[in-house]
């Protein structure tokens, strides 16, 4: 078997692995497919039959390709979340920009929506270092070469990312556990469009505030009372399918991230196991100031 045939065989066997690596770094099934194709192009040009571990070598190339793509995205100042307004994301909301929405949904589920959101806020080198080391076991010595840093610096990059992914709550563990239960109940009722269930977890005098950028036409920025707030939540039951628990400024809240891209966050004020206030933040300037982390494992 000649060297190119051997490489093609090894590449075919490693394709799913390479796509998984690329998706976790890029957060997009479409871009992951582009990255895998670029890995093949670079590998086929460079391979001379003297690689000890072709799979490991291909993973290293994937890391470099994804790092280039992440840096390019940042240089362009790309706003990767181009979701319009909540008015466009009502009950009829559907994924329109993915070639295979079901496939992308499965990939998002495999990683965890909250993790993707947090990873999306990391710098390119941090994201690459964390994904390669913590999720795929690549040594820091190899990661250092990919990100053009020393192994010690690569370790620090991954450590900073790991801290964000693990999440740091600013409330006691017992309080956070109660908050998680309320958030889970709120999300379940919202996704089901269950008005009665929503009314059982909303305080009678609950207040809902929302940025203008995330309001459908004709909706008030401030709503008072459990029934009005619950009816508003029911309208967005389809969008709630893209919501996930997360830490918002250190307390349990909700991340709204269609197709894994952060669109808005919901800060919840919880008193006596009822939701007393809901603040929906979607204005880009305000959203950029929100601290988003994964919820610590229960």
Residue 86 pLDDT > 50? no
Band of the pLDDT at 99, cuts 50, 70, 90?
very low
Report pLDDT for 103. Answer: 60
Q: Give 53-74 pLDDT, tens digit per residue.
A: 898 999 999 999 999 999 988 7
Domain limits, the chain: 3-83+123-165, 173-293
Contacts of 154 (CB under 8 A, 6+ apart): 129, 133, 140, 143, 144, 147
Band of the pLDDT at 82, cuts 50, 70, 90?
very low
Q: What is each CA distance from 106 to 14, 110, 195, 246, in whole angstroms?
A: 19, 6, 29, 19
Q: What's the whole-number mean pLDDT along residues 185-189?
A: 95
Report pLDDT for 212. Answer: 87
Would 3-83+123-165 and 173-293 be classified into the same CATH topology? Answer: no
Q: Can you tell me which residue has the tokens 């280039």?
A: 68
What percent of the chain has a predicted confidence (pLDDT) above 90? 50
Q: In what order do the strands lie in the sheet with 243-248?
A: 222-224, 202-210, 274-281, 264-271, 251-256, 243-248, 292-293
Which two structure tokens, joined as six digits, stand for 202?
């909303």
Report pLDDT for 297. Answer: 57
Cβ atoms 88, 48 nearer than 8 A: no
Band of the pLDDT at 88, cuts 50, 70, 90?
very low
Mean of the per-residue pLDDT values of the chain: 84
Residue 51 pLDDT > 50? yes
CATH class of the domain at 173-293: alpha beta
Report pLDDT for 87. Answer: 40
Q: What's the whole-number mean pLDDT along residues 196-225?
A: 91
Q: How far apart are CA 173 and CA 47, in angstroms?
A: 52
- Residues, the chain: 298
Cβ atoms 207, 277 nearer than 8 A: yes
Could you please state the CATH topology (level 3) that the domain comprising 3-83+123-165 is classified under: Butyryl-CoA Dehydrogenase, subunit A; domain 3 (1.20.140)
Cβ atoms 103, 29 nearer than 8 A: yes
Residue 183 pLDDT > 60? yes
Band of the pLDDT at 246, cuts 50, 70, 90?
confident
Contacts of 98 (CB under 8 A, 6+ apart): 28, 29, 30, 104, 259
Report pLDDT for 298. Answer: 53
């Amino acid at each position: 078997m000649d060297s190119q045939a051997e490489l093609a065989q090894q590449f075919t066997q490693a394709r799913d692995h390479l796509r998984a690596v690329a998706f976790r770094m890029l957060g997009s099934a479409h871009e992951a497919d582009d990255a895998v194709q670029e890995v093949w192009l670079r590998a086929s040009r460079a391979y001379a039959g003297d690689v000890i571990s072709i799979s490991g070598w291909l993973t290293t190339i994937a890391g470099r390709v994804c790092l280039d793509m992440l840096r390019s995205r940042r240089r362009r100042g790309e706003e990767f979340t181009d979701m319009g307004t909540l008015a466009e994301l009502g009950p009829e909301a559907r994924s329109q920009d993915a070639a295979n929405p079901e496939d992308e949904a499965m990939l998002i589920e495999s990683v965890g929506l909250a993790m993707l959101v947090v990873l999306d806020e990391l710098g390119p080198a941090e994201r690459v270092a964390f994904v390669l080391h913590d999720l795929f076991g690549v040594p820091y010595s190899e990661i250092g070469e990919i990100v053009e840093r020393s192994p010690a610096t690569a370790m620090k990059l991954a450590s900073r990312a790991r801290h964000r992914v693990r999440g740091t709550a600013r409330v006691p563990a017992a309080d956070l556990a109660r908050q998680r239960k309320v958030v889970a109940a709120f999300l379940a009722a919202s996704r089901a469009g269950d008005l009665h269930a929503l009314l059982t977890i909303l305080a009678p005098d609950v207040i809902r505030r929302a940025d203008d950028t995330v309001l459908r036409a004709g909706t008030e920025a401030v709503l008072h009372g459990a029934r009005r707030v619950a009816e508003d939540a029911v309208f967005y039951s389809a969008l709630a399918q893209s919501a996930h628990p997360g830490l918002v400024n250190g307390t349990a809240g909700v991340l709204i991230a269609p197709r894994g891209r952060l669109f808005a966050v919901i800060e919840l004020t919880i008193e006596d196991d009822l939701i007393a206030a809901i603040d929906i933040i979607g204005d880009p300037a305000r959203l950029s100031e929100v601290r988003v982390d994964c919820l610590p494992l229960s």
